[in-house]
Amino acid sequence: MIDTLDADAGLVAAFVESGRVEDFERLVERHQRTVFRVVVSVLGPGRERDAEDVTQDVFVQVYRRIASFERRSRFSTWLYRIAYNRAVDVRRAMRARPDSEALSTDPAAPAASRDVLRSYAVADCLSRLPDTQRTAIHLHYWLGHTVAEIAETLGVQAGTVKAWLFRARRLIARCLASKGVRP
């Protein structure tokens, strides 16, 4: 961990001093995968190509603004926070949600189609969660991150992540109940 921090600090200092794009590219190589995962966890499944565009925007933005990095936090925390905020803005601009009106749950439907409808209902309920809770759910259940990893990536306490996951599950249960889907 210390090596990672030292390496980031060293690379940031080298880039700020030299202004050489090659120095910045080394920072990109180290963090592009995590930035992409943060962005895709905000945008959700099926938005991978949009997430790539946002990831690219984030690095261009950071390239231009790195002088404003005040070193009060770790570089990675600052970078992932920018990625999260940018992805939230993009998602709000997209405003893409599954059509919940079309999702009905007919008790007489065959089991297989009930599973599909349930899956749609869960996806719809997920899309209605607050950004922080939905991101935590995606990082945990989709991308397989532990609570500690999510906390480190998003720059919050582990207890906060646990609370987000707990509240998200509770909201999903209520949302499913309101759709007539048994939790």
Binding mask 101-130 vs other proteins (x if CB under 8 A, - otherwise)?
-----------------xx--xx--x---x
Task: Establish if 86 lies at the interface with other proteins (CB under 8 A).
Answer: no
Nearest distance from residue 64's CB to other proteins, in Å?
5
Task: Establish if 14 lies at the interface with other proteins (CB under 8 A).
Answer: no
Site for other proteins, residues 24 to 53, rule: CB under 8 A: 24-25, 28-29, 32-33, 36-37, 40, 45, 48-49, 51-52
Q: How many residues sit close enough to other proteins to count as binding (CB under 8 A)?
A: 44
Nearest distance from residue 106's CB to other proteins, in Å?
19
8 A C-beta contact, residue 171 and residue 125 = yes
What CA–CA distance (Å, rounded) separates 43 from 140? 15
Q: Identify which of residues 156 and 158 has a Cβ nearer to other proteins in the complex.
A: 156
Read off the tokens for 73: 């936090």
What CA–CA distance (Å, rounded) separates 16 from 96? 39
8 A C-beta contact, residue 57 and residue 83 = no
Can you tell me which residue has the tokens 């690095």?
59
Task: Establish if 137 lies at the interface with other proteins (CB under 8 A).
Answer: yes
Residues 6+ apart with CB under 8 A from 117: 103, 104, 105, 106, 109, 181
Q: Find the farthest-apart pair of alpha carbons in the chain and give their distance in angstroms, rounded.
A: 68
Task: Establish if 66 lies at the interface with other proteins (CB under 8 A).
Answer: no
Among 34, 55, 76, 153, binds other proteins (CB under 8 A): 55
Can you tell me which residue has the tokens 């749950």?
105
Instruction: Centre a 10 Å sphere on the Cβ of residue 166 and count the other Cβ atoms it contains.
Output: 12
* Positions that interact with other proteins (CB under 8 A): 19, 21, 24-25, 28-29, 32-33, 36-37, 40, 45, 48-49, 51-52, 55-56, 59-60, 63-64, 85, 92, 118-119, 122-123, 126, 130-132, 137-138, 141-143, 155-156, 169, 172-173, 176, 183
